[in-house]
Structure 1
Amino acid sequence: MTDFDDDTLPFDEFDIAPARLTIDLVALADNWREMADLSGNASTAAVVKADAYGLGLEDCGTALYEAGARDFFVAVVQEGVTLRTYAPDARIYVLSGVWPGQEGTFYEHGLVPVLVSEEQLSFWMAVTAEHGDHPCALHIDTGFNRLGIPLEDALAFADDVSRPASFSPVLVLSHLHSGDTPSSSFNRQQLESFQKVAAAYEGIPASLAASSGIMLGSEYHFDLTRPGIAVYGGEAVGGVSNPMRPVAKAEARIIQIRSAKTGETVSYGGTHRLTRDSRLAIVAAGYADGYKRSLSGSGVPIRDSIHEGGFGFIAGHRVPVVGRVTMDLTIFDITDVPERDVRTGDYIELFGPNMPLDDVARAAGTIGYELLTSLGLRYERRYLYADE
């Protein structure tokens, strides 16, 4: 057996990885600044839950902190603990609130629980009465019927003089369920409900708008906005051109290029039958890498309603997925790409600057959020910084 010294290897791991992911932190920071500009007089937070939408909490959190973000939202307490290392003086809100046994972690790491129910509210008041003042936020349900203290209960609590002096909300917030559809009447209904909340909690900052809400206009901005998907390059509002810069590019390496004859079938089930002599590129990514099985060119139920499957991009050409996407492999038809322009070892872009994230998501019958947060562990990652 031969021992290899890593220092003598001729290639960077990224250059030879089966699947790779490029994350442009400059674009990420620029997108956050754009959302801050759109937020007008409101302060602008950064939502970094779900490992910064699948792109890496440490690197993305650091880039956003260095861009000027000082308010962050995470989903669970451990995300907040991790982020604290990279955002030392930021205010970090935990959207799922607090459970008994976690209170010490909130105090130790300076995290702010977003109290999402009357049970959490009662628990946190008891905690602060015993252990001293610690900031919290109140999530009010204005019509989503997901998390949140019921509107009428929240309005009554605002006037409750019996709450302990150690109980210190630093934010009241709610969430729009149809912000991505500007024409929806629900947006106005929720806005009017939240205006009552903001008035009842006068003097406490208020937050209603995530990415799509920011784009609804200044009425929705209040004191703090909470952009998420737009910061990562995704569409926040349906049916309009996406103004955000792409942040992530996913690519898969071509393992083999093979020729197949008219009439032959491709992939599991033989659901795709070739209508011409074809060249097929088999690439090293599949549904285990978050490249959805529903992107298959045939053989999956979604093709009955969304007839066109997924596409990749290589050498200036969009190339279709043929047959079923499998766990580790996907097959693209590269017949229309000149043979001189593509060879084994090259990379096909799965989504990125040439294959917009949300276009790929639509072909899969889903949304960009899901594609990003479904990225597996097998991508070799490269982060692009301002000096590169």
Structure 2
Amino acid sequence: MAENWRRLGAQAPHIPCAAVVKADAYGCGLDVVAPVLWQAGCRTFFVAHASEAIIARSLLPEATIYVLNGLAPGSGPILAAHTLRPVLGSREELEEWVALGAEAGRPLAAALHIDTGMNRLGLTVPEALALAGDPIIPAAGIDLLMSHLVSAERPDEAINRRQCEDFDAVRRAFPGIPGSFANSSGCYLGAGIANDMLRPGYALFGGNPMPGRPNPMRPVVRLEARIAQIRDVETGDSAGYNSRWTAPGPRRLATLSIGYADGYPRSASGRGHALVGGVPCPIVGLISMDLIILDVTDAPEARRGEPAVLIGDSLDVDSVGHAAGTIGYEILTGLGSRYVRRYVESTD
């Protein structure tokens, strides 16, 4: 993770590189990830919710921590108590934060979210431009302007240019306030996107910020499950709930002690694979809550107690997501609490 943060930062070495560590650091464990990134030199962190931010603050007492999902009604006092910075996205949020600062006798730091195309959170571009010169901006302690790219992983999408132009217009209206636009994929879209702070998340954890091209990131997560049982089945025998799979001939099956309760998606049933002794073995039958069945007929090393790799080696997190009809983000953030987690410090 630390090396990935350095690689992302190298895309624009003249500006800071922050880290998005929401969703328990994309399922990798905030309590471990945040200190590692701090030690690597990261000083600014983004999370989604106040609850995550409070945990991050306990781990990183000196870090700058932004709360992406804004200011929930009544949440201001707890954010202020932990020196957390909400990403404000409406006039109402600005006014509530200003009132809290007035009680404290000083402006409290925050970011301003401008919606340039996502239509989720944030001020519209006209709303933001209308606030230029408004005393509410300094009173709200705005120290960062932010927006979010719609299709950063698709460099040729026209919306990228339009968003960039809109965000540039907002930035010109607020001179002196730095801007942050580049997410993981945005880090590879060039200097026009970089602005004053990179803001990667998924790529820190090994996800490919440039789909369809070689992944410049190092893999971070490896997921293994041991074979609980081996059995031989005959032609016509079925496996799993509702007999969704039927043996086309004599086959050897292995059952793994892992299932959708552990965050491995049920949608990978009949589509995903695991590696046993380096051999790709298809998932057969429906994935159940605690068990997955593999066809290990072609894997001579398959035996009780041997590990099967579900993420790792040739099965990177993006390909696992694709096989399940989803994205690697969902695979990572769904990693469950029943796994035995082992963190390995790199030696190179």
| TM bracket (short chain) | over 0.9
Correspondence for 1:7: none
SS of 2:109's partner is strand
Report what 1:295 is aligned to: 268
Alignment match, 2:244: 271
State the Cα deviation string for residues 273-306 of structure 1 (Å, max 9, x = none).
Answer: 1112111010011111111111111xxxxxxxxx
| Corresponding residue number in structure 1 for 2:121 | 147
Alignment match, 2:206 = 233
Tell me, what secondary structure is at the counterpart of 1:349? strand
Give matches, 1:1-388, under 5 Å: 28-131=1-104, 132-160=106-134, 162-163=135-136, 166-297=139-270, 309-338=271-300, 341-386=301-346
8 Å contact kept, 2:97–2:108: no
Write the distance in 2 (CA, Å) between the matches of 1:230 and 1:381.
20
Give the partner amino acid of 1:111.
L
Distance 1:164 1:136, change over 3 A: closer
Deviation, 1:164, is 7.2
- Report the equivalent of 1:17: none
1: CA distance, partners of 2:39 / 2:3: 11
Q: Distance in 1 between matches of 2:244 and 2:216?
A: 38
Q: Per the alignment, in what secondary structure is the counterpart of residue 111 of structure 2?
A: strand
Shift of 1:166: 3.6
Which AA in structure 1 matches 2:292?
Answer: T
Identical amino acids, percent of aligned pairs: 46
**1:129, 1:164 within 8 Å by CA — same for their partners in 2?**
no
Aligned length: 347
* 1:215-255 deviation line (CA, Å, top 9, x unaligned): 11111000001000000001223221211111001111111
User: Which of 121-130 and 369-378 deviates more?
Assistant: 121-130
Give the 3-state SS of the residue equivalent to 2:309 in structure 1.
Answer: strand
Show the counterpart of 1:301.
none
Provide the C-alpha distance between the structure 2 equivalents of 1:165 and 1:327, rounded to a whole number of angstroms.
52
Cα distance in 2 for partners of 1:195, 1:74 equals 25
Q: Residues 233 and 206 of structure 1: is their aligned pair in 2 closer, same or farther, counting only changes over 3 Å?
A: same
Offset of 1:78 from its aligned partner?
Answer: 1.4
**Residues in 2 aligned to 1:53 and 1:86: alpha-carbon distance in whole angstroms:** 17
SS at match of 2:131: helix
Measure the CA separation in 2 of the matches of 1:103 and 1:112: 10
Equivalent AA in structure 2 for residue 145 of structure 1: N
SS in 2 for 1:225: coil
Q: 2 CA distance for matches of 1:312 and 1:146?
A: 37
Q: Is the 8 A contact 1:40 1:218 kept in 2?
A: no
Inter-CA distance 226–199: structure 2 relative to 1 (3 Å threshold): same
Q: Which moved more, 1:349-358 or 1:98-107?
A: 98-107
Q: Following TM superposition, by how much is the alpha carbon of 1:165 offset from its aligned partner in structure 2, in angstroms?
A: 5.2
| Matching residue's letter, 2:86 | P
Offset, 1:387: 6.2
Return the letter of the residue paired with 1:332: L
Q: Which consecutive residues of structure 1, in runs of 5 or more, have no partner in the other structure?
A: 1-27, 298-308
SS of match in other structure, 2:141: strand
Q: Does the CA contact (< 8 Å) of 2:95 and 2:136 recur in 1?
A: no
In 1, the alpha carbon distance for the partners of 2:137 and 2:19 equals: 31
After TM superposition, give the deviation of residue 163 of structure 1 in Å.
Answer: 2.6
- TM (norm. structure 2) is 0.97
Residue 156 (structure 1) shift: 1.1
Q: CA deviation at 1:117?
A: 1.8
AA at the equivalent of 1:316: G
Secondary structure of residue in 1 paired with 2:10? helix
Structure 1 runs (4+) deviating above 4 angstroms are: none
Contact 1:98–1:114 (8 Å) recurs in 2 = yes
Distance 1:226 1:118 in 2: 24
Please state whether the residue corresponding to 1:38 is helix, strand or coil.
Answer: coil
By relative contact order (CA 8 Å, sep 6+), the higher-ranking structure is 1
User: Structure 2: how far apart are the matches of 1:182 and 1:108?
Assistant: 41
Instruction: Say whether the 8 Å CA contact 2:254–2:302 is kept in structure 1.
Output: no
| In structure 1, distance between residues paired with 2:94 and 2:325 | 38
| 1:45-84 alpha-carbon deviations (Å, 9 max, x no partner) | 0000000001100100111111110000000111111111
